[in-house]
Amino acid sequence: MKLVAFTVRNYRSIVEAYKLSLDNYTVLVGPNNEGKSNLLKAVVLSLYILTRGRARMGPRRGLARYYRSGFDFDYSWKRDFPISLQADNPDGRSEFTLEFSLDAGELAAFRTEVGANLASNLKIRLHFGHEDVEFAVLMQGRGKKALNERRTLIAEFIRNRISAQYISAIRPSDMAAEIIDEVVERELVPLDQDEEYRKLLGQLQALRQPILDKIANRLRDSIIEFVPSISAVRLVAEGGLARSARAYRLLIDDGVSTDLSLKGDGVVSLATIALMRYISRESLGTRNLILSIEEPESHLHPRSIHALRKVLKDISVKHQVIITTHSPIMVERETVRQNILVLHGLAVRARKIDEIRDALGIQLSDNLIGAFLVLLVEGEEDKDILQSWLKSVSPTIANALTQRILLIDHLAGATNLAYKASFYKQNVCNIHAYLDNDDDGRKAVKGAIEKGLIEESDYNLASCRDMHDSEIEDMISLDAYLRIIQEAYGVNLDQPLFHTAAHKWSDRAKEVFQASGKIWDKATKAAIKRKIADAVSRPGVSSLNQHRRGSIDTLVQCLESKLQLRNK
């Protein structure tokens, strides 16, 4: 069961946000004070009412009164109904409409538990007034009356299948503590029905400590993935019956057992990331988690922001994540429609990456304007060769290059991959890397993946069959440049020493040059590569060795797939 659309009218600064599509990963972007947080809080308020409140049917038709069970989200008409509308609408209401999708199994369960058929998505409307909340089921046809008579059953159905978690824009240590409170509170709920628990307060600690120990052990397994130096994790209850308001402390032992809030920012940030992953894996049963976070990047080092985004994307594979952000790193670059622009009291789905950049205040140089995808290659010669081949092979890529939707940029060496990848990500560009299949190329890719700058789907290596090390020149037909090298240097590369597959192109060329009594140094190598790139760029793909084009064909498929996402 997933929340697929949300509408809000007349809530704080949001006049109207109509039927916003919500995906597994949704990003709210916009300048300060334009309503991002208010829109997120509208979603959270609605979900908390449905998942943490308890509905009681009121005396008037269409009215369901709610009482809350231990959450601090509330609605105040004087504060939350738009002040500019209050004089003319003294009885006005804030309106929230939630649309949930159900799979076949959930539709069958709905028939059993609610006693009514649901032909399509479940649509719930909440009207918040001075003192009450009106709850109604929206649908067309005769079944509407039957469904609205079963509102309490429908509310229970939602509560059993949706779990809502909200994390405000606070310091990492507070964020971690808030998540801990949420996890512990959920695990301890069954104890509320334990008669012994209610009567024998003196045995409270004995009853809940095993649960705290179980949670601590699970947390340790999750946190140690990010902070290997941690040897033990303990949860300590502050005492009393409260299960929230910082009732629990997390002690981390990385040589010294200390409260998490007193650890360094690095440990706090990494532990918080681990806790987010934990909450998506544990204690949910079959329920779908809707995780809402305000500015998750706050107080985090850029490297930690990349790691955090990866964790949130991992969570979004099975659950839903909704965030507000000012960070280009956190936005959804591939599927642009998953970003919602919040401007001037309105919220609309983003259509182009340029709109997101404008909302974030990113100023790009002319050569980057409009770039959706950047292909990073090692050298300037690689850039020229690939541009020629890709244009020849793929009309889609050729068009993207012409319109500057796709750009090719060189790194001036594989070691600069991490730096360039970080730069383009911060400027809201998708990236793909194509590097030589040698020690430097493989090391650069591994390093960028470890830093969370690229994923496994974001690179290809210039690999050739039966070669351990290879580079882009190994894929060029010798006929394309044989005569040029012979005329310029008096060296014939068409000989057995050069045709061996035991070494990559640069090493073989060096051996032939030295065997021919020629100087081979960095300048010679660069000059020859430049001549080859110039020769290849004219004939296009006909210069590509047809027996060694496997990685080029794969690169084309990857780039075309990523470019298709721009239109979704």
- Element counts in the chain: helices (H) and strands (E): 21, 20
pLDDT single digits (tens) 132-188: 888 888 887 777 777 878 888 888 899 889 988 887 765 555 666 667 766 777 777
Structurally, the chain folds into a number of domains equal to 3
Q: What is the mean pLDDT of residues 235-263?
A: 69
Over range 220-245, report the average pLDDT: 69
Domain identity same for 300 and 442: no
Q: Does 524 map to a domain? A: yes
My answer on whether 395 and 281 are in the same domain is no
Final residue in a domain of this structure, among 137, 161, 185: 161
**Residue at 341 is within a domain:** no
DSSP string, 122-174: EEEEEEE-SS-EEEEEE-SSTHHHHHHTTHHHHHHHHHTTEEEEEE-S--HHH
List CB contacts of 132: < 8 A, sequence separation 6 or more: 58, 63, 65
pTM of structure: 0.68
Average of per-residue pLDDT across 237-247 = 52
User: Quick one: 150 and 182 in the same domain?
Assistant: no
Residues 536 and 389 in one domain: yes
Per-residue model confidence (pLDDT) at position 202 = 60
* 465/276 Cα distance (integer angstroms): 42
Residue 239: partners with Cβ closer than 8 Å, 6 or more residues away: none
Tell me the two tokens of residue 157.
Answer: 């159905």
Least trusted range by pLDDT, from 238-252, 423-437, 485-499: 238-252
CATH of the domain at 119: 3.40.50
Task: Residue count of the chain, please give it.
Answer: 568
Tell me, yes or no, whether 58 and 133 share the same domain: yes
Does 325 lie in the same domain as 386? no
Give the least confident one: 60-64, 190-194, 314-318: 60-64
Is residue 544 domain-resident?
yes
> Average pLDDT of the chain?
83
- Report the range of poorest mean pLDDT among 18-22, 130-134, 266-270, 437-441: 266-270
How many CB atoms are closer than 10 A to CB 486?
Answer: 13
- pLDDT at 246 (0 to 100): 46
Ranges assigned E (strand) in 358-444: 373-377, 406-410, 430-436
Which residues make Cβ contacts (< 8 Å) with residue 396, sequence separation at least 6? 560, 563
Residue 16 located in a structural domain: yes
Residues 6+ away with beta carbon under 8 Å from 483: none
Q: Are residues 122 and 136 in the same domain?
A: yes
- Using alpha carbons, list the distances in angstroms from residue 466 to 117, 441, 503: 61, 18, 10
Answer whether residue 237 is part of any domain: yes
- 143, 161, 179 - which closes a domain: 161
| pLDDT (0 to 100) of residue 73 | 53
Whether 557 and 421 share a structural domain: yes
44 shares its domain with 20:
yes
Tell me, what's the pLDDT at 81?
93
Residues 179 and 37 in one domain: no
pLDDT per residue as tens digits for the range 351-386: 887 788 888 877 665 555 568 899 999 999 999 999
Taking the CA atoms of the chain, what radius of gyration do you get in angstroms? 29
Same domain, 157 and 199: no
Categorize the per-residue pLDDT at 3 as very low, low, confident or very high, splitting at 50, 70 and 90: very high
Is the model's pLDDT at 210 over the cut of 90? no
What residues does 8 pair with on adjacent strands?
A: 17, 96
Is residue 95 exposed (0-12), middle (13-18) or buried (19+ Cβ within 10 Å)?
middle
- Percent of all residues in the chain with a pLDDT value above 90, rounded to a whole number: 36
Q: Find the domain containing 432 and state its range.
A: 364-568
Domain-terminating residue out of 118, 143, 161: 161
| Per-residue pLDDT at 367 | 54
Does residue 405 lie within any of the structural domains? yes
Residue 268's CATH number: 3.40.50.300
Asked if residue 557 and residue 442 are part of one domain, the reply reads yes
Query: pLDDT band for position 72 (50/70/90)?
Result: very low
